[in-house]
Amino acid sequence: MNWKSISERILEGGKITETEALAVLESPENDLLEIVQAAFRIRQNYFGRTVAIHLLQNVKSGKCPEDCTFCSQSTRAINDVKRYDMQPVNVIMEGADAAVARNAKRYCMVSSTRSPNPNELATVCEATVKIKAKYPHLEICSSLGLLTEEKALKLKVAGVNRFNHNLETSRNFFPNVVTTHDFEERINTARIAKKVGLDLCCGGLYGMGESLKDRVDLAFALADLDVDSIPVNFLDPRPGTPFYGKPNPMTPNSALLALCMMRFVNPTSELRVAGGREKTLRGLQSLAFYPANSIFTAGYLTTGGQSYEEDKQLIEDAGFEIEIAGEKNTA
C-alpha cells in the first residue's frame, strides 16, 4: 500500500476506502512510521503543529442507570467510584478556573446520566453563562447523555459550544456492550446536537473485543455524521466492570494505527487521544501527536492521568505547541 499517495488523495479532497482503512490496522510493524508520516501530512495541513488541551470536570459521578459494560460510572458497576449528584455552579466554575490555569482550549462538563433532568440542565446552563462571562475565549463542551431538541437548544442558547456524545463502537458491536439504549439513539442525539448548531464531539472506545472491521466501521460512522471532534479512548479496564482483570488487546502500535486510520477517514476533524492514552500508548505517546491534534490533560472522569506539567513537556519535547484558547491554528 502506498500510504503517501493515499494521504495526497485525501488532501486533494478524495477519500480513503474501507478496504484501505482496514489495511491500516492490519499493517506490519515495518510500515508503522510510513503510516504515521502519511497521517501527519493530513494533520499538519489542517492543524499545523498545535495541540488543543481539554480539561474534564465530572459534574455528576457514578449515578448512571445505563449498563455500558466498560463504564465504571454505571450504577451496575460494583466499585468505589465517587458517587455524587450534580455539582453546584460554584464548584463547576472552580473547574473552569483550573482549566484556564492549564492553558485549556476547552472545558468539558460531563455528567453520568441517561439524559439530563430539568434541574441538571439548568445548572449546566447557569454555569456556562457564568464561565463565558469570566472567560469569553474558553470553549465550553458538555456531555450529558441523550438529548431532545428542546434540551439541546437550551444548551446552545446558554453558550455551550460543543456537545459530546460518543458512539463508542460500531453499530454491529454496540449490543455487546450496551443493552439499555441502542446505537440509533446515540446517532439521534448526535444529529440533534448538529441540528441546533452545537459542534459535535463524538468518538469511541477501542479495545473492548471488537474486530478490526468494527474499528473501521466506527470511523466511517463518525464521518457520516460529519463530526467536528473525535475523542478516541482506549479501554482501561475498571474495577467492577466485566473487563476488569482481563488483558487489554490494544498494544501501543495498534493504538497508534487506530489513530492514524481515524485521521485518514476523518481528515478535518479535531482528533483527540482520550482516556487510556498513558496506559495504552506508553512509550509511543508522543507519536500520537502526528495523527492527533488534541489531548485531555490532568486525568479523566474516574481515573488519573499525567499532570498538565508532564503533558506540556511531552508536547514541547515532540516539537509541537499548545493551542491557546481564542487563537487560531497555525496551519
Q: How far is the CB of 146 from ligand SF4 (least distance, A)?
A: 8
Please give the grid coordinates belonging to residue 52.
Answer: 488543543
Between CA 291 and CA 40 the distance in angstroms is 5
Of 89, 91, 79, 150, which Cα lies nearest the Cα of 115? 150
145 contacts ligand SF4 (rule: CB under 6 A): yes
Greatest Cα pair distance in the chain: 54
Residue 209 CA neighbour count, 13 Å, CB half: 13
Q: How far is the CB of 120 from ligand SF4 (least distance, A)?
A: 13
Q: How far is the CB of 54 from ligand SF4 (least distance, A)?
A: 17
Q: Are 306 and 282 in contact (CB under 8 A)?
A: no
Q: How many residues bind ligand SF4 (CB under 6 A)?
A: 8
Question: Between residues 51 and 301, which has the closer beta carbon with respect to ligand SF4?
Answer: 301
Q: How far is the CB of 174 from ligand SF4 (least distance, A)?
A: 11
Question: Between residues 73 and 294, which has the closer beta carbon with respect to ligand SF4?
Answer: 73
Question: Between residues 64 and 262, which has the closer beta carbon with respect to ligand SF4?
Answer: 64
Between CA 36 and CA 243 the distance in angstroms is 30
Question: Between residues 112 and 280, which has the closer beta carbon with respect to ligand SF4?
Answer: 112
Q: What would the x/- binding string for ligand SF4 be over residues 32 to 71, using CB under 6 A?
A: --------------------------------x-x-x--x
Question: Between residues 144 and 212, which has the closer beta carbon with respect to ligand SF4?
Answer: 144
Question: Between residues 68 and 121, which has the closer beta carbon with respect to ligand SF4?
Answer: 68
To the nearest 10°, the Cα dihedral for 248, 296, 311, 38?
Answer: 70
**Phi, psi dihedral angles at 271 (to 5 degrees):** -120, 120
Q: How far is the CB of 321 from ligand SF4 (least distance, A)?
A: 32
Q: What would the x/- binding string for ligand SF4 be over residues 237 to 276, using CB under 6 A?
A: ----------------------------------------
Between CA 34 and CA 114 the distance in angstroms is 42
169 contacts ligand SF4 (rule: CB under 6 A): no
Q: How far is the CB of 233 from ligand SF4 (least distance, A)?
A: 10
Rule CB under 6 A: choose which of 112, 169, 229, 302 binds ligand SF4. 112
Q: Are 72 and 79 in contact (CB under 8 A)?
A: yes
Q: How far is the CB of 205 from ligand SF4 (least distance, A)?
A: 9
Long-range CB contacts for residues 92-98, cutoff 8 Å, separation at least 24: 92/57, 92/59, 92/123, 92/124, 92/127, 92/131, 93/127, 93/130, 93/131, 93/134, 95/55, 95/57, 95/59, 96/57, 96/127, 96/131, 96/134, 96/135, 96/138, 98/55, 98/298
Question: Between residues 39 and 64, which has the closer beta carbon with respect to ligand SF4?
Answer: 64
Of 326, 276, 279, which Cα lies nearest the Cα of 301? 276
Q: Are 310 and 271 in contact (CB under 8 A)?
A: no
Q: How far is the CB of 274 from ligand SF4 (least distance, A)?
A: 13
Question: Between residues 64 and 127, which has the closer beta carbon with respect to ligand SF4?
Answer: 64
Rule CB under 6 A: choose which of 73, 169, 233, 306 binds ligand SF4. 73
Contact residues for ligand SF4, defined by CB under 6 A: 64, 66, 68, 71, 73-74, 112, 145
